[in-house]
Copies of this chain bind each other. A is one copy, B any other.
Amino acid sequence: MVENPSLRAPTGSEIADWVRDRIRAGRFVPGQRLVEVDIIRQTGASRSKVREALQRLEGEGLVQIEEFRGASVKNASLEEVRQIYRARVALEGICAGDFARQATPEQKERLCAVQDALDRCVEDRAPERFGRLNVEWHRLIVEGSGNSVIADLLQRLNVPIHRLLFESFYDDERLRTANADHQNMVKLLLAGDADASEQAMRRHIEDGFVTLSKIESEFYR
């Protein structure tokens, strides 16, 4: 494998991870066909392992498989992105509330650290770094809610929109308003105000989708 030139042949789930990461990174774009032989060449895995990995990814909803036409990266329409954001509103909202109720001091500490780093990104106008830390910020809140089932669901939901999550922050105004949301929410979360935290998170994610759909409509114009 290019990334893993060890002698040991990669396992099935490693192939799935490899493909999943590439989809996340935008190396495989929606609609692109995933030809088995290509994956074999690049990973060194056997064909049956590649096939099983693709089946698993279809189970995860990342890929679609058609008879005799193989696997291709599933294309998320704007409507599907809207539905994903609606699910995020519900799930991350409740996680914010649960974080406020029950996060440990260590978890709160880590959130503050990431928030400080985000603030520096705004000063330095570093949108890429902001995007990465933003993902981490949201992940920490879910982790602090103590619900790994929801964490898994969100992990999956985020893959098709992973690149979109970064697009928004190249607009400086959006970056600033998003970070203002973050700062406000951190206050509420640390104060343990569950209801206000949940409401703030829901609005924050809804705003994110509005920004995104503006970018998308420009793109298609």
List residues of chain A with CB under 8 Å of any chain B CB: 11-12, 16, 48, 51-53, 55-61, 67, 80, 83-84, 86-87, 89-91, 93-94, 98, 147-150, 152-153, 157
Chain A facing B: main interface SS: helix
A150 nearest CB across to chain B (Å) = 5
**A58 and B56 contact, Cβ closer than 8 Å, known pairs A83-B148, A87-B153, A153-B87:** yes
Q: Is the CB of A153 within 8 A of B150?
A: no
Q: Which single residue of chain B is at the shortest CB-CB distance from A89? A: B94
In the complex, the count of this chain's copies comes to 2
Structural contact, A83 and B52, CB atoms closer than 8 A: no
With A83-B147, A86-B98 as contacts: A55 and B59 at CB distance below 8 Å: yes
Q: A209 → chain B, closest Cβ, in Å? A: 13
Partner of A48, one of B16, B48, B84, B153: B48
